Amino acid sequence: GAVVSQHPSWVICKSGTSVKIECRSLDFQATTMFWYRQFPKQSLMLMATSNEGSKATYEQGVEKDKFLINHASLTLSTLTVTSAHPEDSSFYICSARDRDRGFHTGELFFGEGSRLTVL
Amino acid sequence: SQQGEEDPQALSIQEGENATMNCSYKTSINNLQWYRQNSGRGLVHLILIRSNEREKHSGRLRVTLDTSKKSSSLLITASRAADTASYFCALDYNQGGKLIFGQGTELSVKP
């Protein structure tokens, strides 16, 4: 149980294009999802908190117009990197909290990540 | 900064040895969690310890928390080559459930 599916697992795009990454909770409902970014050999940096049915909350320094987050249902959140540039190349990881268990367990369930390369 | 500081950054040991990694933080937490990440993959939750707990065990894992020193340690006993991965502590500051990750310890277990 508690599987989070992230798609695509890797994507290569040209500079200036937009890329959408999907994060789905397959066997639980997630009112809250979190998007992280990870550069090679570094830690995960929280980008934003995605709340179902409301606007995402962005961390300081993260451009909300650059990284569009939509959490349209209890099982799906999307991250769109708009007008991507080479410096946006990174490993993007989503995570979700089980609406029914997460409050008590506190743990997050992670997707397998999406590696974005912008040429 | 709310990010945890981990040490060592890298640790190389032989199979069968124990591995200890540490995490320190600066402000009060709700709970502290440890995660594992294999190269290029997502993270897997290992163990959670609440602020009112001092020690927890799960299989070969032992986690301690000292809130007076604002530090935690993760001990992996009788390590195996399959334990090779990066290990991250994650801090829950009771801010809507988000976790702030430490810098990670890269563990290499040689057969």
Q: What span, in angstroms and rounded, lies between the C-alpha atoms of B102 and B84?
A: 18
- pLDDT per residue as tens, chain A (119 positions): 689 999 999 999 999 999 999 999 998 898 899 999 999 889 999 999 998 888 899 999 999 999 999 998 999 999 999 999 999 999 999 999 887 775 556 788 999 999 999 99
Q: Which of B25, B43, B101 to mutate to test the interface with A (most CBs of A within 10 A)?
A: B43
Give the 3-state DSSP-derived string for B71-83, with helices as H, strands as E and coil as C: EEEEEECCCCHHH
Neighbours of A112 (CB within 10 A): 16
Q: What is the DSSP letter of A9?
A: S
Reduced to 3 states, what is the DSSP secondary structure of residue A85?
coil
Range list of H helices, chain A: 102-105
Res A1: pLDDT = 66
Q: What is the dihedral of CA B26, B28, B31, B34, to 10 degrees?
A: 0
pLDDT in tens, B37-62: 998 889 999 999 999 999 999 999 99
CA atoms within 13 A on the CB side of B44: 10
CA distance A20 to chain B (A): 18
Chain A residues with beta carbon closer than 8 angstroms to that of B33:
106-107
**Cα–Cα dist B98/B66, whole Å:** 22
Please report the pLDDT score of residue A105 as a whole number. 66
Q: How many CB atoms lie within 10 A of CB A94?
A: 31
| Residues on chain B touching A111 (C-beta within 8 angstroms) | 42
Contacts of A44 in chain B (CB under 8 A): 43, 88, 101
